[in-house]
Amino acid sequence: MKNKKKNYTKTGMVLSFLKNSKRWFVFSTVSALLVSVCELLSPQIIRFTVDSVIGNEPPDLPQGILSILEAEGGVALLREKLWIIPIAVVLTAIFNVLFKYCFSVCNTRGAETLVKRMRDTLFAHIERLPFSWHMKNQTGDIIQRCTSDVETVKRFLSEQLTQVFRIVCLLTMSLVFMFSMNTTLSLIALCAIPVIFAYSMLFHKRISGSFAECDENEGKLSAIAQENLTGVRVVRAFGREKYERDRFEEQNNKYCSLWTRLSMIFSVFWGTADLISAVQVMLIIIFGASLTISGDITAGEYITFISYNSMLIWPVRMLGRMISNISKANVSLDRIYYIMSSEEEKDRENAQCPDFRGADIVFENVSFGYDGCPELLHDINVSIKAGSTVGILGSTGSGKSTLIHLLDRLYDLPEGCGKITIGGVDIADIKGEHLRRNIGIVLQEPYLFSRSISDNIGIALENASMEKIREASAVAAFEETADSFADGFDTFVGERGVTLSGGQKQRAAIARMLTAKAPIMIFDDSMSALDTETDAKIRTALRDKLSDSTVIIVSHRITTLMQADRILVLENGRITESGTHADLVDNGGLYSKVYALQSKLESDEKGVTE
């Protein structure tokens, strides 16, 4: 897999995603540090109150604060006005709440900005990936990478990574205060940290592999669901509901069992952490009480020590959680990176935008085979005159659609496999966008979006007027059909045009292509669902309205091709016959046999009707 850029790495990808959200995460990190400072101050206020205000220990405060206190009356003042201490606690709590609010707002803003940029970047990149890439990757899996995996990365960056500085601050300051009070008790508290880190690293690799397997199977489950939802009519038509349901349940059971197994790993992971934490707290309470009774530490220090120990356990466990979540985030980043590192379709340097009007199309020694498959097209040589109509006939798998895909550069022609020129310019030297804007194409399976009829037809042209939509619909014999609906051209067609018949979808797709009035128009078996009368009506309208355009018609129906200026016959990837309808009928080849067979079938159908 080639990278879009030579130095494009996962780190570079993450930094590009963070471009618009960095400042919000910086603000949230600063807020998190200030929250930690407030949380660290509260136990010190309690210690000072218990030991120096209620008790008789000398005040152990920073010199600056002690000087201010002495100037105002010292500890005696606080004993007379005890309300000052709860006010200090309340003020600390208020600042804590304010900083937490700032953290939450900034972190949420940063997270949502991040996920928006990730989705926008992924979607824009996927739109520019080659047609061949889309043929290799399941839609459901791509969707899952752009949704579930994006959310996993967002959660890691916003909920855990931004907490690193706060965790480090809490760890450092807690240990500093703890060691300042008692070294022995601090060492007891510290002994749990390496243990938690060690077992977290042991779980890291196992969790990573299990999560990767879960993520991949979630993609497969999404693909099955997506296929069934879009192909529901086929499933219903063939009564395959039970088969598809069993297939979905089988994959869902596998996915469920994988997550159950992963949850068991997590249960052991967090259960072990809880046990270690509980043992550590128990040791602090026992040894702390013993040291307090022996007079090695004061009661205030004991209370403060327990508070700092609870603060110490949370960041240590968070770092352990972060290590395990790195596994999940790394898997999701790999899956996103697979998309982002896939090479975009790009034009050659100094690509041209030639005028396609009056341009001949020439295939020179064209041979082609799909990746991992035998060669499908063999040494194709043909010239199509500008403004002419060319028909292509061939059996299934003969290479008709492949020839069209190559002309529209949906697949790139490899080096040494010939070339295709338009107006003498190699299509590889033409800008892809310019090429496709000048080649109108209606594929075998017309795709309509979940929009109105007018939106679907006008999609090929920016700001298409209703007049142009109606004009194109008239040529495609679709205007009367659209007007027959209750909402006319504003009728919502549903996903993939599900509310329209096969013939209506084909005519709508033809109208969509005609709105752009491209100089080259291709009909890739796009009239197969039309009756003979409608087929003839559309071809007549095409000759009358678009006589200056080059038209290529691929079809299995002889009546669709017989009026073409020239007809090509493809057999096993080679052009075996070429000429007019009359020439090919007299030739006695495949075309003549197909024509005789279809004429007999048509005659028999008329006889039955009569």
pLDDT in tens, 432-441: 889 988 998 8
Per DSSP, 485 falls in state S
Closest CA to 473 of 513, 434, 437: 513
Percent of the chain with pLDDT over 70: 89
For helices 502-514 and 466-475, give the axis angle rounded to 10 degrees. Answer: 120
Q: Give residue limits of the domains in the chain.
A: 10-340, 352-438+521-531+550-610, 440-517
Across the beta sheet with 377-384, what order do the strands follow? Answer: 377-384, 361-368, 419-422, 425-426
Q: What pLDDT band is residue 2 in, cutting at 50, 70 and 90? A: very low
**Predicted local distance difference test score (pLDDT) of residue 41:** 80
Note the CATH number of domain 352-438+521-531+550-610. 3.40.50.300
Report the distance separating Cα 362 and Cα 352, nearest Å: 17
Closest CA to 453 of 430, 431, 476, 433: 476
Report the distance separating Cα 504 and Cα 259, nearest Å: 45
CATH for 440-517 (3.40.50.300, 3.40.50.720, 3.20.20.70, 3.20.19.10): 3.40.50.300
**Predicted local distance difference test score (pLDDT) of residue 60:** 67
User: What is the pLDDT of the chain when averaged over all its residues?
Assistant: 82
Query: Is 3.40.50.720 the CATH classification of the domain at 10-340?
Result: no
**Over 50: is that where the pLDDT of 5 sits?**
no
The percent of the chain in helix, strand and coil, each rounded to the nearest 5, is: 65, 10, 25
pLDDT tens digits along 325-379: 777 788 888 889 999 988 888 888 888 899 998 899 999 999 999 887 888 999 9
**Over 70: is that where the pLDDT of 55 sits?**
yes
Shared fold status for 10-340 and 440-517: no
Q: Strands 574-579 and 566-571, how do they pair?
A: antiparallel
Phi, psi (deg, nearest 5) at residue 258? -65, -45
Across the beta sheet with 566-571, what order do the strands follow? Answer: 439-442, 520-524, 550-554, 389-394, 566-571, 574-579
**Residue 315 neighbours by CB under 8 Å, 6+ apart:** 166, 167, 168, 170, 171, 174
Q: What pLDDT band is residue 61 in, cutting at 50, 70 and 90? A: low
